Amino acid sequence: MWDYSEKVMDHYRNPRNVGSIENADAIGVAGSLTCGDQLKIYLKIENNIVTDAKFQTFGCGSAVASSSILTEMIIGKTVDEVRKITNKDIADELGGLPPEKMHCSVMGYEALEDALKNFNKDEYVDLDEILDEHYKTEKKEKIVCTCFQITENAIWDAIKQNGLKTVEEVTNYTKAGGACGKCKSVIQDIIDTYYNKQQSEIDKLTPTQWILKVNNVIETQISPELQKDGGDIELVDIKNKSIYVKLKGRCSGCKNSTMTLKNFAEKVLQDSLGTDITLIEVK
Amino acid sequence: MTNKLIYLDNNATTKVDERVLEEMMPFFKDEYANPSSMYDFSRKSSNAIKEARVKIRDFVNAQDEKEIIFTSCGSESANTAIRGVLNYNKTKKHIITSKVEHPCVLNLYHALEKQGYRVDYIGVNSNGELDLEELAEAVCEDTALVSIMWANNETGVINPIGKISEIVKSKNKDTKLFVDAVQVAGKIPIDVQANGVDLLGISGHKFHAPKGVGALYVNSKTMITPLIIGGHQERGKRAGTENTPYIVGIGKAAELAQEYLNYEVTEIKRLRDKLESNILSKIYNARLNTGIANRVPNTTNIGFEYIEGELILLHLSDLGICASSGSACTSGSLEPSHVLRAMNVPFTAIHGSIRWSLSRYTTEDEIDYVIDKLPSIIEKVTSISPYQKELQALKELRKK
């Protein structure tokens, strides 16, 4: 018996927004009958805002719940906001999924990605996306897991979005390797490549791109946390892998500031940009 | 959700019969003596085990009760039999089994393949019936063991064991036949002598004894090397102090099962057929996965096309109805049932296949309740399927 959250149970018992939309502006499909689950998502988009969403799912309880909650999450949002939704967001919104069922949330993400792939992207540029694009053009739709027809791209995305580190985790999230298991060594290679690549791509960045990337991590991952406690952080200078910052607000002069800097801020930067990062406080 | 409990998963496990439990109780309390001891106090325990052994002998129609070994479960019975035969005569390296065996047997063969054994997995047709020609062709001089289940746990399809024995022995008289009889015990008569069986395994909890006890029949002409080595118990074939209460339990359960055999082929079969025919007539996207194959009387396996089994089970569970599915999602293994795949059940139905298995405790009211509730559950699950066009076409087709 799966340990489903109340929210998952509520959504498979009473799925929201079931059905199709005639003259939908975008339709996305993920999964297949052979694989045992499929999701079709229909979107109505007006002035770049998702005004309606409907779904049809062939799949288990958590697949239906993931699809159902996804439609609730996207109605009323702009296309750009919707583009940023990851499988992790879907799982989180459901109050979590059993590890073996994470692939259901991935299916939601994939259907959404499929629906929006033909929509023109706006000016928003994420460096991560550039890295991804670079990688994707290299190895487009190469199928890794022949049992479930899982592409290298799908595995790459799952690793990136969920920070997956082991083959077992990749199987839980994408199903790849879950049947005959012959592709497990390839999956391990992709995991290794991902973590090495992350490093080498960073090394290839121009100084400006590097600054933007560091700043992006500080602004999106570190600063909001410090603001919660009435403090903040500001990027002062970057000399190669040494990052100089200034603590502001309550953080400046706080006797725990060294801990904040080393145990939190530096760790976040190292997770995103490599373990050789040093964070230095400028008073 | 509900206090109701309608248990239609008796191929997974069964309710312990009150009479079995009652018979076991003294051996949990006052009669705790080690049956091997020398004093009078142990007489009741050792006699109780003797009686249980005779009951199992009669249950499978063995010639001698010395041919019965008590084990802890069906998996242990299978492991003892298979490894026992292979280890006794290590010169022969070929094994034949079927593609639809229980995982406890299949996974053991996968492990043995890694140790250098050659294993042939015989296929089944779309009804789940074994390909006897393929079997006959596979037997050779080097074949140490043929291992075939008497009935399949997922489909209930019965294999013609007598005929299989004839085929095997006519090709190689030294080849041993092990039969996993876990799914026939208490459902159809078992006669090891009439069917030419060398080794046969059963599990108590599938016929109203508790979990944790099984038995293995090894005929007097078959030698095995024991799996568990230690004391002299079970004539040296399975060491370890006898689990007296559970052995008493499986003995009593076998005795009762024998009495219920007639009820099984009449009443339980009637209820199974009622459930089956109503589902098939009321639900247009239902299909019987076993066709006209000969089955045990309590089991039916029905596929619901273009929908997924776990979701059906979750909705059934909300109404207190317990069944099981060959769907990948329920097992966590990601792959649908190896049995249904070996039968080439179409992908449209394999993920939505549900196994219903009845027992002597199943009532007509319960079957009527399922017949009443199931169509709306299937309707609900079908309504969210992305395959509406295909479903519509199927509906039209079934109307004709």
Asked if B329 and A60 come within 8 Å (Cβ–Cβ), the reply is yes
Task: For residue B73, indicate whether it is catalytic.
Answer: no
Asked if A18 and B383 come within 8 Å (Cβ–Cβ), the reply is yes
Residues 36-75 of A with CB under 8 A from B: 36-40, 55-61, 63-64
For B102-161, how does the pLDDT look when each residue is reduced to its tens digit (9 = 90+)? 999 999 999 999 999 999 999 999 999 999 999 999 999 999 999 999 999 999 999 999
Asked if A33 and B348 come within 8 Å (Cβ–Cβ), the reply is yes
pLDDT-derived band at B195, boundaries 50, 70, 90: very high
**Rounded Cα gap, residues A162 and A199, in angstroms:** 18
Summarize the confidence of residues A33-59 as an average pLDDT.
92
Q: Is B390 on the interface with A (CB under 8 A)?
A: no
- Nearest residue of A to residue B327 by CA position? A36
**Rounded Cα gap, residues A27 and B180, in angstroms:** 50
pLDDT surpasses 70 at B233: yes
Residue whose C-alpha is closest to residue B175's, from B112, B132, B208, B222: B222
- Nearest residue of A to residue B335 by CA position? A179
Asked if B386 and A58 come within 8 Å (Cβ–Cβ), the reply is yes
pLDDT-derived band at A139, boundaries 50, 70, 90: very low
The residue among A146 and B162 whose pLDDT is bigger is B162
Q: Is B353 on the interface with A (CB under 8 A)?
A: no
Predicted pLDDT at A123: 41
The residue among B266 and A185 whose pLDDT is bigger is B266
Amino acid letter, B91: T
Which of A44-48, A245-249, B38-42, B61-65 comes out lowest in average pLDDT?
A245-249
Q: What residues of A are labeled active site?
A: 35, 104
Residue whose C-alpha is closest to residue B196's, from B172, B179, B215: B179
Residue whose C-alpha is closest to residue A175's, from A34, A64, A40, A57: A34
Summarize the confidence of residues A228-248 as an average pLDDT.
83
Asked if B385 and A56 come within 8 Å (Cβ–Cβ), the reply is yes
Mutate to test the interface with B, among A1, A55, A58 (most CBs of B within 10 A): A58
H helix or E strand, kind and range, residue A37:
strand A37-46
User: Which DSSP category does A178 fall into?
Assistant: S
Question: Residue B60: how many CA atoms within 13 Å on its side-chain side?
Answer: 38
Residue whose C-alpha is closest to residue A69's, from A6, A15, A30: A15
Predicted pLDDT at A135: 52
pLDDT-derived band at A118, boundaries 50, 70, 90: low
Q: Please give the mean pLDDT across all residues of chain A.
A: 84
pLDDT-derived band at A136, boundaries 50, 70, 90: low
Summarize the confidence of residues A221-246 as an average pLDDT.
84
For A77-92, how does the pLDDT look when each residue is reduced to its tens digit (9 = 90+)? 999 999 999 999 999 9
pLDDT surpasses 70 at A122: no
Residue whose C-alpha is closest to residue B8's, from B246, B302, B283, B280: B302
Summarize the confidence of residues A42-60 as an average pLDDT.
94
H helix or E strand, kind and range, residue A270:
helix A266-273
Q: Please give the mean pLDDT across all residues of chain B.
A: 95
**Rounded Cα gap, residues A26 and B52, in angstroms:** 69
pLDDT surpasses 80 at A130: no
Predicted pLDDT at B2: 64
The residue among B248 and A145 whose pLDDT is bigger is B248
Q: How far B335 CA sits from the closest chain A CA (Å)?
A: 6
**Considering all CA atoms of chain B, what is the largest pairwise distance in Å, rounded to the nearest integer?**
76
B53 in Cβ contact with B251 (< 8 Å): yes
Q: How far B306 CA sits from the closest chain A CA (Å)?
A: 7
Q: Are strands B6-7 and B321-322 parallel, antiparallel or unpaired?
A: parallel
Summarize the confidence of residues B40-59 as an average pLDDT.
97
Asked if A33 and B347 come within 8 Å (Cβ–Cβ), the reply is yes
- pTM value > 0.90: no
For B20-29, how does the pLDDT look when each residue is reduced to its tens digit (9 = 90+)? 999 999 999 9
Using an 8 Å CB-CB cutoff, list chain A residues near B347.
33-34
Predicted pLDDT at B330: 56
Phi, psi of B257 (to 5 degrees): -60, -40
Predicted pLDDT at A207: 80
B354-B378-B276-B129 Cα dihedral, nearest 10 degrees: -40
B94-B98-B99-B105 Cα dihedral, nearest 10 degrees: -80
pLDDT-derived band at A74, boundaries 50, 70, 90: very high
pLDDT-derived band at B188, boundaries 50, 70, 90: very high
pLDDT surpasses 50 at A124: no
H helix or E strand, kind and range, residue A58:
strand A49-58
Taking each continuous run of H as one helix and of E as one strand, the counts in chain A are 13, 8
SS (H, E, C) B30-49: CCCCCCCCCCHHHHHHHHHH
A245 in Cβ contact with A282 (< 8 Å): yes
**Rounded Cα gap, residues A96 and A82, in angstroms:** 20
Predicted pLDDT at B210: 98
- pLDDT over 70 for what percent of chain A? 91
Name residue, tokens 């009387």. Answer: B297
For B311-358, how does the pLDDT look when each residue is reduced to its tens digit (9 = 90+)? 999 999 999 999 998 766 655 566 789 999 999 999 899 999 999 999
